[in-house]
């Protein structure tokens, strides 16, 4: 099968970026090459004419008023990479590094940065040769740090992993038949500037969040059937009274999952608790929030976030300083993604509690095979409750952290990268919560729902779960069950 190669002739969108992070190839494209070359010609003209340009012939940050002579501009580019590689902590996973690289290549391909085509090709070579720069996760208040660690490898410094081995940047490039870049004027600044880090990480969090909300509809329906809920609350004429595309979509999904369930026929309960009755409203609210985040990330990828940008013609070149690297809107959107996903985990944990709580479930206590000698899912619910608590703390907005850097020159910080990083953690936590609920719901079906009475879709889901997770009888560590459930959710559940 031929692999479709995406090019940079048109801006990437969030789904394309996530696919590239997962290993899909990326190439420059003729249109991108032309734009990049035209912008580089403007930088050459700026240098030749001595037009004042931030980071081209001046220092950066609070050193913007220090002139850098042409003979030192290559050195400026290299030393910017060295001094800005200030990351701390464990390295990011490979897919997150790939997402950042793809987002930065996309940013440079708009043709407003002024780097050479060779710089973008070098970034894409990291992707296409599976070279993963070692990028510490922490140490960023917005941008700069993560990209500096990637740029280190481009110039033969730092460390990277290739074919599973940790090597120096120079060794990793040589192994792939590549040579280190010698950076020219502005290239050092353009390689570390902009919002590609938060954009790339945010696109990954978003892709997983969309897969998660789809899985959540399936898991909720699975639990709903086991608990004998009343599906009348999901009737189309009732749901349509609240205007929300997300609620409508979740209700359609729930009804598809539950269609044909004789176990739910003629249920006598007039009104279910909110953790069952409000599933389309909570899951739908999450869908609406994710739609907004999708629009924000796609707009970010279609935007130039470098500073300065180059404009004009070679005869009249211009460097325009602005604040496009300050992605306040993106930071707020990623904060909202975190809050939305935290709600998804919160209602899932409440459904899980109803599955294991003998006071309300009508099921064996804690779904234990031999209650008393066996504890079943009792403490797994504790784990889910702990993750809900952690999510509540993580959902506090990073975009309001503030701070002052560079001697008052950079006295507003939007913290978009920390917002993206915590969104990824929130998504992983909710994958774990839903994984526990999924395993518990399968156990509840074994105890209370005969195979013939299940909806066809939930019957298929039960088979899917049981292919990986055997019935539980306190016969192996619960951690293994929880991890297997999370993996099923993360991979995506089969559709109704």
Question: Looking at the annotation, which residues are catalytic?
Answer: 54
DSSP code for 335:
H
Residue 313 is encoded by which pair of tokens?
A: 């013609």
d(CA 302, CA 8): 11
CA quadruple 393, 397, 400, 406: dihedral positive or negative? positive
Q: At what angle do helices 196-226 and 279-301 cross, to 10 degrees?
A: 160
Residue 442 is encoded by which pair of tokens?
A: 């399968």
DSSP code for 2:
P
* Sequential DSSP letters for 202-224: HHHHHHHHHHHHHHHHHHHHHHH
User: Cα–Cα distances in Å, from 400 out to 50, 213, 329, 336?
Assistant: 39, 27, 12, 12
d(CA 480, CA 486): 10
CA quadruple 226, 229, 231, 234: dihedral positive or negative? negative
Q: Strand 136-138 vs strand 88-91: parallel, antiparallel, or unpaired?
A: antiparallel
Run of H or E residues at 89: strand 88-91
């Amino acid at each position: 099968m031929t692999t479709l190669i995406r090019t940079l002739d048109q801006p990437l969108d969030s789904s394309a970026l996530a696919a590239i992070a997962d290993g899909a190839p990326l190439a420059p494209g003729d249109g991108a090459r032309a734009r990049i070359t035209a912008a580089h010609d403007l930088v050459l003209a700026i240098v030749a004419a001595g037009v004042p340009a931030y980071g081209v012939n001046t220092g950066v940050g609070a050193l913007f008023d220090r002139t850098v002579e042409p003979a030192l501009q290559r050195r400026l580019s290299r030393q910017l990479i060295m001094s800005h590689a200030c990351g701390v902590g464990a390295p990011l996973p490979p897919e997150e590094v790939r997402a950042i690289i793809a987002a930065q290549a996309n940013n440079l391909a708009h043709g407003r940065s002024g780097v050479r085509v060779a710089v973008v090709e070098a970034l894409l070579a990291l992707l296409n040769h599976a070279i993963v720069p070692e990028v510490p996760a922490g140490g960023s208040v917005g941008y700069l740090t993560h990209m500096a660690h990637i740029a280190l490898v481009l110039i033969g410094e730092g460390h990277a992993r290739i074919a599973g081995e940790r090597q120096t940047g120079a060794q990793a490039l040589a192994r792939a038949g590549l040579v280190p870049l010698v950076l020219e004027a502005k290239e050092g600044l353009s390689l570390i500037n902009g919002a590609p880090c938060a954009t790339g990480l945010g696109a990954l969090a978003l892709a997983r969040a969309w897969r998660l909300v789809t899985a959540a509809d399936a898991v909720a329906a699975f639990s709903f059937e086991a608990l004998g809920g009343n599906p009348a609350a999901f009737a189309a004429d009732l749901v349509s009274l609240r205007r929300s595309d997300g609620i409508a979509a979740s209700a359609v999904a729930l009804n598809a999952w539950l269609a044909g369930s004789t176990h739910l026929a003629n249920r006598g309960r007039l009104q279910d608790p909110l953790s069952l009755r409000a599933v389309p409203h909570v899951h739908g609210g999450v869908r609406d929030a994710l739609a907004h985040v999708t629009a924000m990330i796609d707009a970010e990828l279609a935007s130039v976030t470098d500073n300065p940008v180059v404009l004009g013609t070679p005869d009249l070149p211009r460097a325009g300083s602005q604040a496009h690297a300050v992605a306040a809107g993106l930071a707020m959107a990623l904060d909202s993604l975190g809050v939305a996903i935290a709600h998804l985990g919160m209602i899932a944990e409440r459904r899980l509690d109803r599955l294991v709580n003998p006071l309300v479930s009508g099921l064996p206590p804690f779904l234990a095979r031999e209650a008393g000698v066996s504890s079943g899912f009792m403490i797994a619910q504790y784990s889910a409750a702990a993750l809900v608590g952690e999510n509540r703390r993580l959902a506090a907005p990073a975009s309001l952290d503030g701070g002052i850097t560079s001697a008052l020159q950079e006295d507003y910080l939007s913290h978009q990268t920390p917002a993206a990083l915590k969104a990824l953690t929130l998504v992983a936590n909710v994958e774990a919560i839903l994984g526990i609920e999924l395993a518990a719901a399968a156990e509840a079906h074994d105890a209370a729902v005969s195979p013939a009475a299940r909806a066809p879709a939930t019957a298929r889901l039960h088979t899917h779960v049981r292919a990986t997770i055997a019935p539980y009888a306190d016969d192996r560590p619960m951690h293994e069950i929880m991890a297997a459930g999370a993996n099923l959710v993360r991979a995506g559940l089969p559709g109704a």
